[in-house]
């Protein structure tokens, strides 16, 4: 098994990232290490320049995100932890795959449509070709499994389409250049929603900080955000079926279940019939209890930027080595002559 996944260093790590992806990264890191496989996790800093950004913030956020990932349990001795900018093979492979990716495929990406909105002409080219870089990120390392939240599934399907077309066009069936990666999406927390709007996903780009729990939030902030989270006036149902049409309630129950490692039905068996006045403090306390140790470790780690840079340098060295054979095979398959 070869696990590969990335996260953009564009702000704080939030509960959606943690439950949708990072918790799975940690679990898979430990599983593959035990089975002799390898996991690679990276900061998608090259993806971050597809939107307007402040260079100083990007550099600071990149280091902060390393600290956050290590605080969550990513162990740089077990996983290869690095940032794309230190591994030029990502950008190189993106270009090589650009001959295979099709405009029509990229035009269908819902993230492109959402982010570009009505102003497609005014977007950067990078925002449009972003999924080709994402394909390069995973194909470069022959990833077999890619742990992500639901919102990244379409990008992973595109990576498979690109790999398949490239293999068909430029490789023989016996010796394909690329492995087709499988997305691994957690069934119980694939899509954590905003605390203010049960129809929007929890996101770092939401202008309201009240919409998300950040891994940097202190106990009082977490309790306040949960207390103010949008709900409805009905008491909680006693099983999952009763959450239909109640997006905000379903989201809070889902968060509780994912955090406690229980099913939604188990949580509802305990809280069914009660109002949010009883449930919200219990959820807040659970979050504080589980996130507290991560936040404390994060605060300590983020102070040591030398150590964080050393983690990234070590990871990049290993990633460059792992990327080299696939990159060379891609150049060769395309008939590009290199010395």
Active site residues: 115, 201, 204
Q: Tell me if 186 sits within 8 A of 27, measured CB to CB.
A: no
Nearer to ligand TYM, 93 or 146 (CB): 146
Count Cβ atoms below 10 Å from residue 26 Cβ, excluding itself. 21
Subset of 90-129 contacting ligand TYM (CB under 6 A): none
Q: CA gyration radius for the chain?
A: 21
Does 142 help bind ligand TYM (rule: CB under 6 A)? Answer: no
Does 250 help bind ligand TYM (rule: CB under 6 A)? Answer: no
Q: Which range, of 5-13, 234-242, 258-266, 274-282, touches ligand TYM by CB under 6 A?
A: 5-13
Give the shortest CB-335-to-ligand TYM separation in angstroms: 27
Alpha helices in 12-101 (DSSP H): 15-17, 23-35, 45-48, 55-72, 89-98
Does 151 help bind ligand TYM (rule: CB under 6 A)? Answer: yes
DSSP structural state of residue 275 = -
Q: Which range, of 130-138, 227-235, 246-254, 274-282, touches ligand TYM by CB under 6 A?
A: 130-138
Q: Which range, of 17-25, 26-34, 114-122, 258-266, touches ligand TYM by CB under 6 A?
A: 17-25
Does 6 help bind ligand TYM (rule: CB under 6 A)? Answer: yes
Does 137 help bind ligand TYM (rule: CB under 6 A)? Answer: yes
In the list 3, 21, 70, 162, the residue contacting ligand TYM (rule: CB under 6 A) is 21
Nearer to ligand TYM, 96 or 202 (CB): 202
Q: DSSP for 185-224? A: --TTSS-PBPSS-TTSB--TT-S-GGGS-BTT--HHHHHH
Does 26 help bind ligand TYM (rule: CB under 6 A)? Answer: no
Mutual orientation of helices 153-170 and 305-333 as an angle, nearest 10°? 40
Angle ∠(339,140,180) on CA atoms, nearest 5: 130
147 phi and psi angles, rounded to 5 deg: -75, 115
The Cα 330–Cα 86 span in angstroms is 20
Subset of 185-224 contacting ligand TYM (CB under 6 A): 190-192, 201-203
Residue 3: in which H helix or E strand, if any?
strand 2-7
Subset of 221-240 contacting ligand TYM (CB under 6 A): none
Q: Is the dihedral of CA 286, 302, 44, 40 positive or negative?
A: negative
The Cα 24–Cα 146 span in angstroms is 10
HSE-up (13 A, CA, CB side) for residue 218 = 2
Does 29 help bind ligand TYM (rule: CB under 6 A)? Answer: no
Count Cβ atoms below 10 Å from residue 92 Cβ, excluding itself. 16
Q: Distance of CA 180 to CAs 106, 176, 191, 208, Å?
A: 18, 10, 24, 38
Give the shortest CB-222-to-ligand TYM separation in angstroms: 17
Does 333 help bind ligand TYM (rule: CB under 6 A)? Answer: no
Nearer to ligand TYM, 194 or 330 (CB): 194
Give the shortest CB-238-to-ligand TYM separation in angstroms: 26
Q: Which range, of 119-127, 147-155, 237-245, 320-328, touches ligand TYM by CB under 6 A?
A: 147-155
Give the shortest CB-10-to-ligand TYM separation in angstroms: 7
Does 315 help bind ligand TYM (rule: CB under 6 A)? Answer: no
Residues lying near ligand TYM in the complex (CB under 6 A): 5-8, 16-17, 20-21, 44, 47, 134, 137-138, 146, 148-149, 151-152, 190-192, 201-203
């Amino acid at each position: 098994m070869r696990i590969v996944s990335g996260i953009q260093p564009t702000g704080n790590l939030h509960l959606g990232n943690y439950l949708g992806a990072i918790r799975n990264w940690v679990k898979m890191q430990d599983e593959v290490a035990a089975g002799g496989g390898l996991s690679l996790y990276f900061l998608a800093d090259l993806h971050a320049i597809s939107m307007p950004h402040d260079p100083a913030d990007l550099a600071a956020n990149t280091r902060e995100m390393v600290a956050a990932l290590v605080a969550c349990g990513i162990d740089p001795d077990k996983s290869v932890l690095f940032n794309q900018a230190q591994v030029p093979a990502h950008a190189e492979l993106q270009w090589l795959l650009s001959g295979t990716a099709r405009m029509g495929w990229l035009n269908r990406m819902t993230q492109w449509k959402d982010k570009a909105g009505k102003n497609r002409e005014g977007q950067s080219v990078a925002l449009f070709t972003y999924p080709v870089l994402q394909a390069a990120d995973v194909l470069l390392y022959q990833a077999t499994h890619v742990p992500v939240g639901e919102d990244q599934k379409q990008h992973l399907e595109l990576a498979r389409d690109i790999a398949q077309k490239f293999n068909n066009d430029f490789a023989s069936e016996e010796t394909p250049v690329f492995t087709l990666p499988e997305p691994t999406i957690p069934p119980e927390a694939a899509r954590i929603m905003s605390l203010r709007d049960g129809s929007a996903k929890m996101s770092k780009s939401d202008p309201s900080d009240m919409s998300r729990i950040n891994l940097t939030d202190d106990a009082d902030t977490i309790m306040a955000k949960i207390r103010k989270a949008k709900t409805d006036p009905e008491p909680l149902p006693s099983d999952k079926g009763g959450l239909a049409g109640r997006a905000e309630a379903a989201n809070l129950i889902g968060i509780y279940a994912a955090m406690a490692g229980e099913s939604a039905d188990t949580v509802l068996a305990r809280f069914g019939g009660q109002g949010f006045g009883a449930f919200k403090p219990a959820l807040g306390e659970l979050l504080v209890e589980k996130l507290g140790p991560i936040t404390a470790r994060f605060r300590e780690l983020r102070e040591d930027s030398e150590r964080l840079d050393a983690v990234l340098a070590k990871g990049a060295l290993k990633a460059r080595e792992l990327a080299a054979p696939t990159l060379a095979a891609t150049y060769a398959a395309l008939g590009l002559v290199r010395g």
